[in-house]
Amino acid sequence: MKTIDARGLACPRPVIMSKKAIKEEQLEELTVKVDNEIATQNLSKMGTQLGFTSDTKKISDSDYEVTLIKSEDCQCEVMTEEDSSEYIVAISADEMGRGDELFSKTLLEGFVYALREQDVLPKYVVLYNLGVKLSTLNKTTVEDLKYLEENGTEVLSCGLCLDNYNLKEELKVGTATNMYRICELLRLYKVVSPC
């Protein structure tokens, strides 16, 4: 049985690592070590979605093991991808949700990382208003956006927004676009927006 040590890794990395291992290695059993209870719950949910049963053991106050075993008679609802589900992602801020600023920025970084790990990547990532900081100043999201771009996603940043925030010379991934094109894309495609 394979074991993944995901202790110290923030959400959603333990789930993504586990899902990737299950799919790529066609695993029927997997043990994942994590250091918080929320991660155990997220892994159990992911396991159910993939047709696995889960067993969680608390090793210590900060150590848990989640064992996932493929279930042959699972009555769960296994999630599948729609083959024709083209979509775009529109991001208008450099934070996800409202709350603590640093935490909200970390949440959005986690979203962009999770986006690159999806089975179906977006056709476009459209950045406007403060969202343009993701393609310019934020090193973490720049790397994830480069990965998306290398795998067929077009990354577009609002040129007017880049000018407004004096970031036009800082663009590190994708190209500048205009509001007419942004409006057109938002009208033509299914839109996912975390902000």
Domain ranges of the chain: 2-70, 87-192
* Local confidence band at 111 (pLDDT 50, 70, 90 cut-offs): very high
State yes or no: pLDDT of 76 exceeds 70: no
pLDDT at site 186: 95
Nearest partner of 107 among 126, 94, 120, judged by Cα: 94
Choose which CATH entry (3.40.1260.10, 1.10.10.10, 3.20.20.70, 3.40.190.80) describes domain 87-192: 3.40.1260.10
% of the chain beyond a pLDDT of 90? 78
**What is the structure's pLDDT at 38?**
86
pTM given for the model: 0.74
Q: How many CA atoms lie less than 13 Å away from 188 in the CB half-sphere?
A: 10
pLDDT per residue over 133-180, tens digit each?
A: 999 999 999 999 999 999 999 999 999 999 999 999 999 999 999 999
pLDDT value of position 74: 57
**How far apart, in Å, do the first and last CA atoms of the chain sit?**
40
Rounded-to-integer distance, Cα 68 and Cα 42, Å: 12
Q: What is the pLDDT of residue 12?
A: 85
Tens-place pLDDT, residues 80-95 = 544 457 999 999 999 9
CATH superfamily of 2-70: TusA-like domain (3.30.110.40)
